[in-house]
Chains A and B, each alone.
Chain A
Amino acid sequence: MDVKLFDSELKVMGVLWREGDCTAKYISDVLKEETGWNMNTTYTVIKKCIKKGAVERREPNFMCHALVPKEEVQEAETQELINKIYDGSADKLFAALLSRKKLSAEQIEHLKKLVNDLE
Chain B
Amino acid sequence: MSIWSMSVSGGILILIILILRGLFQNRLPRQTFLALWAVVLFRLLIPVSVPADCSVYHLLGTFRMERVEEQWSRVFRQNAESGNYRPEKTVAKDAGSGEVTEEGQTGVSDHFLVWKEIWKTVYLWGVFFCVLSYLFLSLKCYREFRISLPVKHVWIQKWVQHVPMRRNIQVRQMERITTPMTYGVFHPVILLPKNMDLEDTEQLQFVLTHEAVHIRRLDVVKKMFLAAAVCIYWFHPLVWIMYVLANRDLELACDEGVIRQFGQDSRAAYAYALISLAERKNSRIPLGSGFSKNAMEERIVAIMKKKKITIGAAAAAIVLVIAVTVFFATSAPQRDIQREDTMVLESQDSKVSADQEITQEAVKEEPQEMNHRALESDDGTAAWEEEIQKIYQEIYHSQEFSDYEKFGLSYDEKNGYLLYKNEMVGYFKDEMSPGLYRRFTDEKGKIALVVSRDAKWNMTGFQEKSMEEVLGQNGQTAENITGVTGTDRNGAVAFASSDASVSASEDVSAAASENGNFIIEFPDEYAEYGVTWDGKYHGKQIIFLYDKNHSVIANGGSGVSEAEGVYLQVRRDSKGKITSLEEVTKEEMQKILDAEKTGLEI
Shortest Cβ distance from residue B553 to the other chain A in the assembled complex, whole angstroms? 67
Q: Nearest CB to that of A41 among chain B residues?
A: B146
Q: Does A11 contact B (CB under 8 A)?
A: yes
Docked-complex contact B170 and A8, CB < 8 angstroms:
no
Minimal Cβ-Cβ distance residue in B for A6 = B175
B194 CB contacts on chain A under 8 angstroms = 7
In the complex, what distance in Å separates the CA atom of A41 from the CA atom of B170?
17
Q: Which residues between 390 and 425 of chain B lie within 8 Å of chain A, taking CB atoms?
A: none
Contact of A37 with B by CB under 8 A: yes
Q: Which residue of A lies closest to B145 (CB)?
A: A41
Find residues 147-170 in chain B having any chain A CB closer than 8 Å to their own CB.
147, 149-150, 170
Task: Say yes or no: A35 contacts B146, CB within 8 Å.
Answer: no
Report the bound CA distance from A44 to B142 in whole Å. Answer: 14
**Contact status B146-A11, CB under 8 Å:** no
A67 at the interface (CB under 8 A from B): no
Q: Please determine whether A11 and B175 come into contact, CB atoms closer than 8 angstroms.
A: no
Q: Is the interface of A mostly helix, strand, loop or mixed?
A: helix
Interface: A81 (CB within 8 A): no
Q: Which residues of chain A come closer than 8 Å to B170, judged between CB atoms?
A: 36
A38 to B170, CA, bound (A): 15
| B150: A residues at CB distance < 8 A | 34-36
Most buried by B among A7, A38, A44, A45: A7
Residues B149 and A35 in contact, CB atoms below 8 Å apart: yes
- B146 with A7: CB separation less than 8 A: no
CA distance A45 to B144 in the complex (A): 11
Interchain nearest-CB distance for B69 vs A (Å): 50
- Chain A residues whose C-beta falls within 8 Å of the C-beta of B175 in the assembled complex: 6-8
What per-residue 1/0 map shows which CB atoms of B174-188 lie under 8 Å from chain A?
A: 010000000000000
- List the A side residues contacting B147 at CB < 8 Å: 8, 37, 41, 44-45
Across the interface, which residues of B come within 8 angstroms of A44, CB to CB? 146-147
Residues of B within 8 A of A38 (CB): 146
CB proximity to A under 8 Å, residues B185-200: 194
Which chain A residues numbered 26 to 58 have a C-beta less than 8 Å away from chain B?
34-38, 41, 44-45
Bound Cα distance A103, B147 (Å): 31
- Select from chain A the residue with minimum beta-carbon distance to B170: A36
User: How many Å lie between the Cα of A11 and that of B170 in the bound state?
Assistant: 19
From residue A36, how far is it (CB to closest CB) to chain B in Å? 6
Q: In the complex, A45 Cα to B149 Cα: how many Å?
A: 12
CB distance from A4 to the nearest CB of B (A): 11
What separation, in Å, do the CA atoms of A35 and B175 have in the docked complex?
A: 15
Kindly list chain A residues whose C-beta atoms are within 8 Å of the C-beta of B146: 37-38, 41, 44
- Report Cα–Cα, A36/B146, bound state, in Å: 9
Distance A45 CA – B175 CA, assembled complex (angstroms): 14
Interface 1/0s, chain A 43-82, versus B by CB < 8 A? Answer: 0110000000000000000000000000000000000000
A contacts, CB < 8 Å to B: 6-8, 11, 34-38, 41, 44-45
17 CB contacts below 8 A, A to B, read A6-B175, A7-B149, A7-B194, A8-B147, A8-B149, A11-B149, A34-B150, A35-B149, A35-B150, A36-B150, A36-B170, A37-B146, A37-B147, A41-B147, A44-B146, A44-B147, A45-B147
Which 7 A-B residue pairings sit nearest by Cβ, starting from the closest? Answer: A8-B147, A41-B146, A7-B175, A35-B149, A6-B175, A35-B150, A7-B149
